[in-house]
Amino acid sequence: MKFLIVDDDSACRALLEDILGELAHCEEAADGAEAVEQFREALDAGEPYDLICLDIMMPHVDGHQALDEMRKIEYERGIYGSSGVKVVMTTALSDSKHCIRAFHEGCESYVTKPINSQQLLEQVKMLLGKLSPLGNAVPRFGWNELPDDQPAGPGHFLLVDDDRACRELLRAMLKPYGECDMAYDGQEAVDAVRLALDDNRPYDLICLDIMMPGKSGHQALEEIRQIEAEHGIHGSDGVPVIMTTALNDSKHCIQSFKEGCESYITKPIQVNQLLGAMRQLGVLPAQTANSKSPTNSPK
């Protein structure tokens, strides 16, 4: 595994390398222009980065501009969506405007300074799967994988996220409880809900990310409720929706509930938190003192 740490502050670069150095080989760049050049050279050499920690406020070429250039380079080489390098924005800017812009430009995570090492490591492990020292990958989500031939539970779930790692994480958590369909963006989610209703096989739960290309989670949720209304489904009879998002922002939370979601969970998602929300919504039966979930918490 190979990471690129980009920050104009040498102390921040040293801190990030100290946190991430046990997981992967770390290279450094002091500004956006240098980061873009190293990113291009890595692709040319056939040794692309697995993860980039990218600061926003830098001289000359800032983090927003650098990320935009990197995604353009990937596009030129036929690298799209979740196949691209994972980018974690590491910034002192707690302004939601910068956070939203960063996700629109294609970052997968947003961590504010001062950097909390545990928070950063959780984000990295969520994006890349569990790692052993020096970046030797161990099976992603192996703590909860079931054999492919093991039957799923009776539920019917739709998991919506433009990040493949997030979709697979949710699938690993929910596979013991039912069949999981996947959608890459809001439009795919809307189409899946319409088809499920037309087939008289509605979903029992939708896990819906907010920041996605094209149609966002907010827009998708609004359309899903409209489709349900067209089918004579109103209010609490509709499919329960859990928003699963990296945006820890009360504005988005309030908007989501106004649009008709029933629960709101911020990433990185914890299995007990998700299953607890599903029990509160009645999607799963309440857990008794003697009952045990087939899903174990991550070690």
pLDDT at 288 over 60: no
pLDDT at 132 over 80: no
224 by DSSP, 3-state: which? Answer: helix
C-alpha pair distances (Å), 96 with each of 53, 105, 255:
19, 14, 14
pLDDT at 217 over 90: no
Give tens-digit pLDDT for 60-85. 899 999 999 999 999 899 887 777 89
177 by DSSP, 3-state: which? Answer: helix
pLDDT band at 256 (very low <50, low <70, confident <90, very high): low
Domains of the chain: 2-135 (3.40.50.2300), 142-280 (3.40.50.2300)
Average pLDDT, the chain: 81
**What's the mean pLDDT in 156-177?**
87
pLDDT at 225 over 50: yes
Laid out side by side, the sheet with 51-54 consists of 25-29, 2-6, 51-54, 86-91, 109-112
Which residues are 195's β-sheet partners?
A: none
Please say whether the beta carbons of 81 and 32 come within 8 A: no
User: Dihedral angle at the C-alpha atoms of 216, 218, 220, 223, nearest 10 degrees?
Assistant: -140
**What's the mean pLDDT in 257-264?**
69
- Can you tell me the distance from the alpha carbon of 90 to that of 113, in angstroms, rounded to the nearest whole number? 7
pLDDT at 143 over 80: no
pLDDT band at 223 (very low <50, low <70, confident <90, very high): very high
pLDDT for res 62:
92
pLDDT for res 271:
85
